[in-house]
Amino acid sequence: MADVLEVRAEFRGGYRSDVTARQHGFIVDEPEYAKGGDEGMMPTEVLWASMASCFCLALAHVARKRDIELPGLVVTVRAERAGNELRYGRVLIEASADVDDDVIEALMAPARRCCWVSNTLAGDTEYDYRHTTRGVRR
């Protein structure tokens, strides 16, 4: 596993960017009501898609280690805005599968411990914003 991950977003006009990581890519855009072209998910949807997919994989991982199958596993994330602030104040992560409630309930805590996205967002992550120049002078 790589110690450093790199994801790149390239501006394409309006509110669209093309995002790449390794050999994979997708479009990020804003919906039409926000003056975007609605060609992809919004950045905040990508953030919560990361949470939903990572926790889904974490649940599947801990279940597999216990020889438990989770048919129909679905993880849904609902993020509630913090008033008028430009952030979310509450996030609900809900998992369901075609198993008895106690089966999936017992997997929630161990999955939480091995979910990279949950751990990153809940931790003391340091963010360092920098700029680089490409030799263009004005």
Q: What is the amino acid identity at position 32?
A: E
Segment 107-128 shows an average pLDDT of 95
CA gap 93, 107 in Å, rounded: 14
Per-residue confidence band for 4, with pLDDT thresholds at 50, 70 and 90: very high
User: Which amino acid belongs to residue 41?
Assistant: M
Asked if residue 134 has pLDDT above 90, the reply is: no
Which stretches within 4-134 are classed as H helix? Answer: 43-65, 101-113, 116-122
Give me the chain's average pLDDT, please: 95
Q: Which residue has the tokens 């509110």?
A: 15
Identify the band that residue 137 occupies on the pLDDT scale cut at 50, 70 and 90.
Answer: low
Q: What is the model's pTM?
A: 0.90
Label residue 2 by pLDDT band (50, 70, 90). confident
Euclidean distance between the first and the last CA atom of the chain, given in angstroms as a whole number: 42
Confidence of residue 76 (pLDDT cuts 50, 70, 90): very high
pLDDT band at 50 (very low <50, low <70, confident <90, very high): very high
